[in-house]
Amino acid sequence: ETGVTQSPTHLIKTRGQQVTLRCSSQSGHNTVSWYQQALGQGPQFIFQYYREEENGRGNFPPRFSGLQFPNYSSELNVNALELDDSALYLCASSLEGTKNIQYFGAGTRLSVL
């Protein structure tokens, strides 16, 4: 067990809708990263938050946004869903001072129809 939980486990949306995915990390894990994993591929970095501020972003459009809260939970929001957004979304958290080790949740499987 990594201590990182994600909800929901599965989600079905239609094109154009908006979605919010949630992640809860262990106490003290003040860095959270989000990844998108398309079927059959390795995860792709979306963005990272450190102490509630965005701390880095991958090659994803602005309709992908996030929030991190003081209680070590975080959200990934995706607006104007597209069919290609269908993927497994993984959240990973790191403990202060050990940023190079990321602990992953089991992910949210998003299907866009």
Binding span for other proteins by CB under 8 A among 11-19, 62-70, 76-84, 95-103: 95-103
Based on the shown chain and the rule CB under 8 A, indicate whether residue 60 belongs to the binding site for other proteins. Answer: no
How would DSSP label each residue in 3-29? S-EEE-SEEEE-TT--EEEEEE--TT-
**Based on CB atoms, which residue is closest to other proteins, 24 or 33?**
33
Compute, in degrees rounded to 10, the torsion defined by CA atoms 23, 37, 77, 67: 50
**Based on CB atoms, which residue is closest to other proteins, 85 or 105?**
105
Binding span for other proteins by CB under 8 A among 17-25, 68-76, 85-93: 85-93
Residue 62 phi/psi, 5-degree rounding, is -65, -15
Based on the shown chain and the rule CB under 8 A, indicate whether residue 55 belongs to the binding site for other proteins. Answer: yes
- Contacts to other proteins by CB under 8 A: 2, 31, 33, 35, 40-45, 48, 55-56, 58, 88, 90, 92, 94, 99-107, 109
